[in-house]
Structure 1
Amino acid sequence: MTESQNKTHFGFQEVDEQAKQGLVGNVFRAVADNYDVMNDAMSMGVHRAWKWFAVAQSGVSAGDSVLDLAAGSGDLSLKFANKVGPDGMVIVTDINAAMLAQGRKRLTDAGIAGNVDYCLVNAEKLPFEDNQFDCISISFGLRNVTHKDQALAEMRRCLKPGGRAIILEFSQPTNSTFRKFYDAYSFNVIPKLGELISDDRDSYQYLVESIRQHPPQEELKQMMLDAGFDRVRYHNLTGGIVALHMGYKY
């Protein structure tokens, strides 16, 4: 099978691998303007607590260098920039120009300058040197990457020895009863919210489907180990709706 014939998933659809990046790009161009409003609506604001927890667990401190992949509207980047201070650096990245513009706007409006830079980046092919960053984060973005193993390997390559990767992503609820409630909410409510708030049901239908295609907790942990990370662990948040995975480079 040639590369052009390789298949992957786009939500519940099967598509050519080469087509997925463009399809995902279309989704995030469509949702960029209402991204934060929809995050609050879908999670009832709980996404803010998930992100604060991720930053607290990252161990980032003054003077550190941080690479924030799939930074979206920049809420983690803003928190990291405040933590690293004027002697540190945060590289704010996204593969989608519309989302990166949202992140730049958030940080600029917050008065963040001097210790941040912005870059359009494909997580599978990072344009950075080996051993460059103290911490690399990706928040609610890994599930959209076609070759997750490549992205994980690139994250490890760009970390300094002793550096840590943090991956905040939707996962699988651990309680079967809660999972049924979550599935009902996801498939029946979230696309409807997308339709009402953003006039875009299809993008949020993709969101729900992409979550179900993402590797669950133990599988993602093993993928990080296979990529060469050490001391890999994860924390389930809100019953496993979201998981924070962490791994170190030694």
Structure 2
Amino acid sequence: KRKFGDQTTDALKKHLRGGKEDGCTGVVFTGGEPTVREDIIELVRYAKDLGYSDIQIQSNGRMFSYRKFCEKIIRAGATEFSPALHGPTAKIHEMQTRAPGSFAQTVQGIKNLVALGQYVMTNSVVTKYNYKFLPELAELLIKLGVDQFQLAFVHPVGNAWKNFDKVVPRKSDVKPYIHKALDIGKDTGIRMMVEAFPFCFMQGYEKYCSELFMPRGEVRDAEIVIKDFDKWRKESGKAKFEGCKRCKFDLVCEGPWKEYPQKFGWDEFKPVPGKKVTQI
């Protein structure tokens, strides 16, 4: 399928109309980087005029460092913002973005959005570069005043697959740092989620598994309509092994991204004994 940036303004407006006609109530502008499109304000305003109630902007966060841009996109109708912050310092964050100055811009962007009273939900991709600094990242995000943060284990596709050994850590190594980050945030009222980190690594922290909150109905993007997003994600993206059937979380857990065990195998995954649960 084509990337978001390959779509013309008229084509995207057509998709927005189609989604509304099919009963969609929310839209996510993602990319690529949607905020560098010259028509992003126009598109957000168009989505609002069509009646979308939830309009989220997923971004690297750098354009939000310009307060006037924030004010424009808020007036246009954006209701949620999801900037990406991958580390507590410029050095760590920019090891992943490869963009000097991006840390300062994203942090300022978060500050601007918070100051303007917006709902801010950050996303942080967990890699070999940053996993040991997740507790410090949690502290920074709390200090910045975000409403929600998500720690998303890297999906080993594209460049991450090509550079697997440099980028992808073992989940067993990451586990204590994820738990500590959650411990830091649990009494602050901030909403926290962890993505692509199976339940057998999250004992005592199961309620933070983001898969519990994923969309389960129809999801559309600029090119395709997925009738059952829950089924599609499990069958095309995730993997489980025979031992999962013995785990109490088998019915609610999706397993890891399928590429992970292709490299590391299943030795780290230990079935949790007990009666199978259907909800957390």
Verify same fold: TM over 0.5: no
TM-score tier, shorter chain, comes to 0.3 to 0.5
Instruction: Identify the structure with the greater strand proportion.
Output: 1
Task: Compare relative contact order (CA 8 Å, sep 6+) and give the higher one, 1 or 2.
Answer: 1
TM-score for the superposition, normalised by structure 1: 0.33
